Amino acid sequence: MEEIAIYLHWPFCKSKCPYCDFASIRQNDASLYEKFEDLLLLDLTRSISEIGDRRIKSVFFGGGTPSLMNPKSIEKILNFLIKKFSMTNEAEITLEANPDTFCRNKMKDFKNAGINRASLGVQSFFDKNLRFLSRSYGEKQSVAAAEIVAQTFENFSFDFIYGYEGQTVKNFAQDLERAVNFECKHISCYQLTFEENTPFYEKMLAGVIKKIDENKEIELYDYIEDFLENNNIFRYESSNYSMAGFESRHNLAYWKYEDYLGVGPSAHSRVVVDKRKTEMVKISDPFLWESALSQNRSTFSHINTLSEKEKLEEMIIMGLRMVNGVTMEDLYQKVSPRVVNEIISEKKLKFLTEKKLMANGKIQLTKSGLKKMNSAVKFLLS
């Protein structure tokens, strides 16, 4: 039986971060939360019936801020999946959480509902950094939330943002040291980017804030890897590090180009339907998505059968994010060998190898190559 990963998108946040371009909106209406929790289950019920019987390998509640949800609603969704589809106790079930959206009892309720992995958006443990990032909580709440998660789950992850004005290696080292002291076995470190149509992007254009120097970016990038490796936490994807056995199985489904179904407003899917890899995108606006559900219309705004070239491009873009890269065998299994050989030439691979950006004989970026990943991918697919 084919496996599939399930992603459920919760569109609401208590506040909107100035660097975030995700499909999320500020909303603190508890009655609206309850309504949308029921709609998520309805959208899941309709969507999953269209893809046939699958074994569910992972479930991921993302957003937005899904820790705003009622644990009973999450339990209802997971019970539906257990009863209707093949999902064993080994399935990885992750909840994204923000420090100011739960207490100890609520996190225990999430665990009792079936969550077995928590991903906490710490971003930093220090007030100065949190103020710059306009987070809605401070140092004390950040540390307290990390303690609750660490005491509730064996499998948990902390997310950090790095690479912004005023941040030094010494400063970020303190964040990582605290994470390690919590015995965190999975850490994600995302470099701050200035996405269009965000307040930070507008401030950058106005000269109010600046990108940090490229040399400082590289210094921080190298420090993260060295520090975490010394604590037996190893990079397995460009921004993700873990101890052995604690890699995110759900995210690996994306990077390995396995099937995944996205449910909820703006969610994306890549699913094999009738032996064809199909791209599906949900209606982005939560209220238009709700209207489609209530009128028994499709909640997909876009459905497209991917060409062989498009599949290859996606496999390369996602696969080269992983430290282990992809193999020609991987490509040949999911893409026409003719198309693979036309685009991924020996000449290109040799050039990248000579430049020490790619490992010899493999479609796998070196440490230097990972730092220039976008350029290497663009060259390989040109």
Q: Residue range 67-96: average pLDDT?
A: 91
Say how far apart CA 298 and CA 276 lie, in whole Å. 20
Q: Residue range 9-17: average pLDDT?
A: 83
Say how far apart CA 95 and CA 56 lie, in whole Å. 16
Q: What is the pLDDT of residue 333?
A: 93
Three-state secondary structure call for residue 189: strand
Say how far apart CA 359 and CA 266 lie, in whole Å. 37
Rounded to 5°, angle at Cα 207 from 202 and 213: 105
Say how far apart CA 60 and CA 118 lie, in whole Å. 10
Q: What is the pLDDT of residue 257?
A: 96
**Average pLDDT for the chain:** 91
Q: What is the pLDDT of residue 119?
A: 98
Q: H helices within 22-168, ranges in order?
A: 30-48, 71-84, 104-113, 127-132, 139-152
Q: What is the pLDDT of residue 264?
A: 95
Delimit the domains of the chain by residue range: 3-253, 308-382
Task: pLDDT band for 164, please (50, 70, 90 cuts).
Answer: confident
Q: What is the pLDDT of residue 27?
A: 67
Q: What is the pLDDT of residue 83?
A: 85
pLDDT in tens, 110-127: 999 999 999 999 999 999
Q: Say if residue 198's pLDDT is above 90.
A: no
Q: Say if residue 97's pLDDT is above 90.
A: yes
Say how far apart CA 50 and CA 46 lie, in whole Å. 7
Q: Say if residue 348's pLDDT is above 90.
A: yes
> Rounded to the nearest 5°, which phi and psi values hold at 21?
-115, 20
CB-CB neighbours of 185 under 10 Å: 22
DSSP assignment string, 261-314:
EEESTT-EEEEEETTEEEEEEE-SSHHHHHHHHHTT---EEEEEEPPHHHHHHH
Answer for the pair 335, 315: CB distance below 8 angstroms, yes or no: yes
CATH topology of domain 3-253: TIM Barrel (3.20.20)
Pick the more confident residue, 206 or 256.
256
What are the structure tokens assigned to 278, written together?
A: 């199909």
Among residues of the chain, what percentage have pLDDT more than 70?
Answer: 97
pLDDT in tens, 19-69: 776 666 666 677 788 889 999 999 999 888 777 778 899 999 998 899 999
Q: Say if residue 95's pLDDT is above 90.
A: yes
Task: pLDDT band for 176, please (50, 70, 90 cuts).
Answer: very high
Q: Say if residue 331's pLDDT is above 80.
A: yes
DSSP assignment string, 23-65:
S-EE---HHHHHHHHHHHHHHHHHHHTTS-S-EEEEEEEEES-
Task: pLDDT band for 250, please (50, 70, 90 cuts).
Answer: very high
253 DSSP β-pair partners: none
For residue 30, what are the CA distances in angstroms to 35, 66, 216, 261?
9, 13, 43, 27
Q: Say if residue 10's pLDDT is above 80.
A: yes
User: What 3 state SS string does 307-357 have?
Assistant: CHHHHHHHHHHHHCCECCCECHHHHHHHCCHHHHHHHCCHHHHHHHHHCCC
Q: What is the pLDDT of residue 271?
A: 94
